[in-house]
Structure 1
Amino acid sequence: MNISAGAYSSKGSVRPLNEDSFLLGEETGGTGVDDTLASFNGNVMKSTVFAVADGMGGHSAGDKASQFVVQQLLRRIQNIPGINSAVLEETIKSIHADLLKEAARINAPNMGSTLTGLVLQNGNCGFFNAGDSRVYRLRNGFLQQLSRDDSLSAIVPGAAKNIITNALGAGLPTVTVESRFSANIAVPGDIFFLCSDGVHGAVYDEVLEKMLLESGTPEEITYRIVKQAIANNSDDNCTALVVKLMDGE
């Protein structure tokens, strides 16, 4: 499976610190005060994971939470030859439990993070989500949101969009993991787009669809999308990740 991918993460124009993190194959990025741009290209021969995590819990807690989540995800699944929903859910619930312990250790009980991602591998591919970061798929020119938002506004129309109902850590006793694997999740020609709510809350889906179809490398496209979100007055950190599945070997 030949893949070209890129990610861009920015603290945005309002927040003093970037509390978003991403996982791009075997590279993590985001968090801190500096913007992060990364790329990934190659023929994927083993299970490869791409993810976005949006931290919460206040200064010096949200960034630690999201970074903890993506680093633990990379460490725990990179050597698993075939990932499925059961393995993934068990892994994420274990990370959730360890994040609660880490939060207690540093006296940051509300420290938590969303986690959304894509698993590419031979055979079944899949996506997963906990929180209100999103996974989209662009197929045949049509953009579809695959994940569902774990937010109060998704349940109660008109409710505040920044209140999430599910996450890793955040003092919650359990985490619910949405995941789906099938041979049809990812096929050559598909483009996947992952982002934090700082992006999808400021850029309409129809605009995202057009921008994902524009020319440029995945990292160039993520850069333009994040800059568009900031120009649209996003008041949050902004992280975007694009994965293109190329035709041929």
Structure 2
Amino acid sequence: MNKNFISYAVSHRGVVRELNEDAYIELNKYNIWVVADGMGGHEAGDFASQLVVDVIKAEVEELPASSISTEMLIKAIKSANTKLLEYSSDFLANKTAGTTVTVLFLKDNKYSAIWVGDSRIYLYRANGLLQLSRDHSQINDLIDEGLLTEQEAINHPLANVITRAVGVQNELSVDFVEGDLLTDDIFLLCSDGLTGELNDSEISIALGPKNIIDSGMALIHSTLVRGARDNVTFILVKNEKSDNSNDKTLTNNDLTVPLLLSK
């Protein structure tokens, strides 16, 4: 696997919550990074987020790095979904133990962003920030239906209501996007504790220096200063070098939304 990637992760309980229901893992050996956010208000949100992370890790480590694929990671998420439903049935009297999950996988100068729920994956390229994932939320559904504008969606009472999560339904649809990987690309995986406090413009400014440790410290500091009403977890991943020959002509035109796919 490519060894040109560096990552930096932060997970913080925040200022208000007593428990951190987020989980994450950096599988640098396989160029895989995962963030999960247990569903607040439900039973065992912290267990749910850790379980999906653990299942992905276990299934990845059973295979040689050359065999890892987007499809394999999606199957691992669906396996975690089954395990969470079984846990809910056996130990929680069928109460929901749910979690979001977002996964970044880098291989052969390609990226794959995989997700369920409203935890996000961003790409920072050519001083521009692009949200690769699309929240599975009631707010986004209302926007898609033309019933709400993006401006009206800010601070809307339905802002935290998600429409898809791991551990909620037997049939789980997992979305993903894929694209070319370029030198100096920075990816941000995060729970909504970050995006609930900072908007895209503020995130972009924090990523501007392109030193991901400095950027990470700026992100967590800004979030805590804002009050950090939720748990905050994020991973920054930077591609230090790529074999793609078109890197020298990189402009904001290279920052386009890839085709959304589901499995």
Classify the TM-score, shorter chain: 0.7 to 0.9
Q: Give the aligned residue type for 1:87.
A: M
Q: Distance in 2 between matches of 1:16 and 1:9?
A: 14
What amino acid is the match of 2:169?
A: L
* 1:98-131 CA-partner distances (Å, limit 9, x unpaired): 1111222321621110001200123543110100
Matches within 5 A, 1:137-156: 137-156=123-142
List aligned pairs for 1:22-61, cutoff 5 A.
22-25=24-27, 47-56=30-39, 58=41, 61=44
Structure 2 distance, partners of 1:191, 1:148, is 18
The residue aligned with 1:161 is: 159
1:180 aligns with 2:174: no
Inter-partner Cα distance in structure 1 for 2:125 and 2:173: 28
1:23, distance to aligned residue in structure 2 (A): 1.3
Question: What is the correspondence of 1:14-93 to structure 2 with a 5 Å cutoff?
Answer: 14-25=16-27, 47-56=30-39, 58=41, 61-78=44-61, 79-80=63-64, 81-93=66-78
User: Which amino acid is 1:62 matched to?
Assistant: G
What is the DSSP-based 3-state SS (H/G/I as helix, E as strand, rest coil) of the residue aligned with 1:92? helix
| 2:187 paired residue number | 192
The counterpart of 2:202, out of the listed 207, 227, 233, is: 207
**Which has the larger Rg?**
2
Say which is worse superposed, 227-236 or 69-78, in terms of deviation.
227-236
Partner of 2:14: 12
Q: Is the 8 A contact 1:152 1:163 kept in 2?
A: yes
Letter aligned with residue 112 of structure 1: G
Matches of 1:175 and 1:200 in 2, distance apart? 24
Aligned residues: 226
Match of 1:221 among 204, 210, 215: 215
The 1:60–1:121 alpha-carbon spacing in structure 2 relative to 1, beyond 3 Å, is same
RMSD of aligned alpha carbons: 2.1
Do the aligned residues in 1 keep the contact of 2:114 with 2:176 (CA within 8 Å)? yes
Unaligned runs of 5+ in 2: 143-147, 244-263
Q: Which has the higher strand share?
A: 1
Once superposed, which parts of structure 1, at least 4 consecutive aligned residues long, lie more than 4 Å away? none
What's the TM-score, normalizing by structure 1? 0.83
Change (3 A) 1:215 1:119: closer
Going from structure 1 to structure 2, the CA distance change for 1:136 and 1:10 (only over 3 Å counts) comes to same
Amino acid paired to 2:15:
S
Gaps of 5+ in 1: 27-43
Q: How far off is 1:214 after superposition?
A: 2.4
